[in-house]
Structure 1
């Protein structure tokens, strides 16, 4: 999956918490949201106009649900429950566990969440 496909997949499946997502797709999506967030930060730095604050809020709201659903499907790909995404609420330790799970390779073959998106 390339960068453009990952973005398209993220927005097309913005509320889909079923199935599995490839590691490359998730990390391309993460890169996309980081670039957008950085761009909004640059636009809003030093501005006192409420327009940019509202723009930043709307972009955050637009990206939060697809980001969560992508992370849930990524956890499914490693044969873990999507509820483990809530580990991010545990300071430092939860983030470390979640990062390790998100970088783990796919579970080979079919698991309880569906077929391997790699086709392997």
Structure 2
């Protein structure tokens, strides 16, 4: 999945879809967009003196949460597992490792494997 395809999937086709599965490329490319957008707006906010980040977060927080839940589903875990990131120090590390794990190769509780379908 390319960067443009991942962004199109997350922002247009599956904006608030919390069911189904998302491959690693979809999650990580959208995370790159989210991080770059955040850095750009933080930089502009410092330069202009206005809190511009408030414009980005409401637009991207829902698709970021949705793609995260779908990514966890792809690894065979519940979307509620995302809350593990709230544990200080170790939580974010465990969360990121879970997002980097390969998909379950067969159908799981959430849907058939996107790799098998593609």
Confirm or deny a common fold (TM above 0.5). yes
Distance in structure 2 (CA, Å) of the matches to 1:91 and 1:40: 26
What is the TM-score normalised by the length of structure 1?
A: 0.91
Gapped regions of structure 2 (runs ≥ 5): none
1:33 matched residue in structure 2: 34
1:16 has 2:17 as partner: yes
1:57-76 alignment, distance < 5 Å: 57-76=54-73
Give 1:119 deviation, angstroms. Answer: 1.9
Cα-Cα RMSD: 1.2
1:117 matched residue in structure 2: 114
Runs of 4+ with deviation above 3 angstroms: none
Q: Secondary structure at the match of 1:108?
A: coil
1:47-66 alignment, distance < 5 Å: 47-48=48-49, 52-53=50-51, 55-66=52-63
1:2 matched residue in structure 2: 2
The count of aligned residue pairs is 116
Give 1:47 deviation, angstroms. Answer: 2.8
Once the two structures are superposed, residues 45-103 of structure 1 have per-residue CA deviations (whole angstroms, 9 ceiling, x without a partner) of 1433xxx41x3202011111110110100000000011001111111111111111100
Once the two structures are superposed, residues 11-62 of structure 1 have per-residue CA deviations (whole angstroms, 9 ceiling, x without a partner) of 12121110000001100000011111111111111433xxx41x32020111
Q: Secondary structure at the match of 1:111?
A: coil
Distance in structure 2 (CA, Å) of the matches to 1:14 and 1:105: 23
